[in-house]
Structure 1
Amino acid sequence: MAWSKVFKVAFGALLVSMLVAAPYVNATISCEQVTNWLTPCITYGLFGGTVPPGCCEGIKTLNAASNTTEDRRAQCNCVKEGAAKIPGLNYDRVNELPGKCGTTCPYKLSYDLDCSKVN
């Protein structure tokens, strides 16, 4: 029961932060899309274990949609801002996900990540 409450709070914080964030002018990816694609990954970032169903598909979909530098920077900002609002999120686990899903990510998520330097 307690895990369910933590997940609901974390998911709510992520969803709200992603939906409120302004879209980036030249980017074709919105924070709402990023949220939808990465929501299945939240439980892994919090608790580890098995990669949840839909998580890898979401990461791969996000990567496929990130065709420009502006898209990758917008993606980075959405993920960074949303992750910062999830209490207990383990950044090391989050950074493991692309490898576990057989793909890559153009940045390592951290508290001090400078998304303006993402190419």
Structure 2
Amino acid sequence: MAAQPGHAVSCGEVDAALMPCIRYLTGRGGNTPSPANCSGVRAVKAMSQTTADKRASCDCVKAAASREPDLQDAAAQSLPAKCDVQLDIPISRSVDCSR
């Protein structure tokens, strides 16, 4: 699911990658992320290699987080680490994606 060179990251791609994570991020999926959750995080990392792609992915993640009223911030912030993925994009409603 990695983006092609010269291909801008779309919110549709980011949303599709993170869709399996919704139950975990809203507290309905237990305390441990599933393999599908971690695959989604790895997919977002893979498609977010350039600075422009990271900003685009960040904007998409922020928008998706804002649409989910039950999102648990602690679960969102810990998801990449629990999946052993160094993700340069915070999963947050309040992140400044221009930084």
Return the structure number with greater relative CO, CA threshold 8 A, min gap 6: 2
More helix by share: 1
Larger gyration radius, structure 1 or structure 2: 1
CA RMSD of aligned residues (A): 1.7
User: Which TM-score applies when normalising by structure 1?
Assistant: 0.70
- Provide the residue aligned with 2:17 in structure 1: 37
- Provide the residue aligned with 2:98 in structure 1: 116
Gaps of 5+ in 1: 1-25
- Provide the residue aligned with 2:3 in structure 1: none
Output one character per residue of 1:72-105: Cα deviation in whole Å (capped at 9) or x when no partner: 0000000101111111111110111111111112
Please tell me whether the aligned partners of residues 27 and 74 of structure 1 are also in contact (alpha carbons under 8 angstroms).
no
Shift of 1:27: 6.2
Gaps of 5+ in 2: 1-5
Q: Distance in 1 between matches of 2:25 and 2:75?
A: 5
Q: Distance in 2 between matches of 1:61 and 1:109?
A: 14
Report the identity percentage. 38
User: Which TM-score applies when normalising by structure 2?
Assistant: 0.83
